[in-house]
Amino acid sequence: MFVRHRERHRTARLGWLRAAVLGANDGVVSTASLILGVAAAHAARGYVLIAGVSGLAAGAMSMAAGEYVSVHSQADTEQADIERERKELKSDDAGERKELTAIYVGRGLEPALAAEVANQLMAHDALGAHVRDELGISQMNRARPLQAAFASAASFAIGAAFPLAITVWAPQQELIVWVAGVSLVFLAFLGALSARAGGANAPVGALRVTFWGAFAMAVTTGVGALANAL
């Protein structure tokens, strides 16, 4: 009896993981930077919160729309390639068999075995074999626009909620320190978590995300302080 060995690979979650990490990171950085810029201009807490909430809403919708359009373009391209392959299979079956055979030969199979593999796979699912082995498209890496858009919007909102929550309860005179400090800690955690989930080095991931987050916050804080001084 054949027992299928089930394995869990990180590549299976790269699609939604990429969108979720990007959304959360952008949510923290952009919202915290916006809050810090307005706070540095000595605006009242109410105005700072309005700016932060507006940034959360606008950012989440922007992330969702941008991710949907981008991933949908990828999905359209994949579908066009699949349809082209479907037509080629109908018009030139023999040529497509040779093409698939050549792919397997290039991967190390003997020509006779490659031809047999190509024939058996095409007898089972000709289009699926060409989509997978010629186009490099599989169920694991297929573009999913709605999934990417939802993951981006939701993760952006979650990330943006952290600096907003700090803005609500932090002392007015220490608002900048608290928002910047907590946001950088969360960015470090997020960078380490995403690196770990992807099998990369966690400290390096944390440092990379934290550095660019700190840079963005410093720039917008400076802009707010300059606006207040003018």
User: What are the φ/ψ torsions at residue 124 (nearest 5 degrees)?
Assistant: -80, -50
How far apart CA 14 and CA 21 sit, in angstroms, is 10
CB 217 within 8 A of CB 181: no
Predicted local confidence at residue 52, as pLDDT: 93
Cα gap 198→227, rounded to integer Å: 41
Mean residue pLDDT across the chain:
82
Phi, psi of 141 (to 5 degrees): -115, 15
> Residues 96-115: pLDDT tens digits?
788 788 888 888 888 888 88
pLDDT of residue 202: 83
What is the distance between the alpha carbons of residues 156 and 52, in angstroms, rounded to a whole number?
13
Mean pLDDT of 16-30: 79
pLDDT one-digit tens code per residue, 31-42: 999 999 999 999
Number of H helices, E strands in the chain: 7, 0
Per-residue pLDDT tens over the stretch 43-76 = 999 999 999 999 999 999 998 898 888 888 877 7
Worst-scoring range by mean pLDDT, 20-34, 99-113, 116-130, 135-149? 135-149
Nearest to 215 by CA among 17, 32, 27: 32
User: Which of 10-24, 130-144, 210-224 is predicted least confidently?
Assistant: 10-24
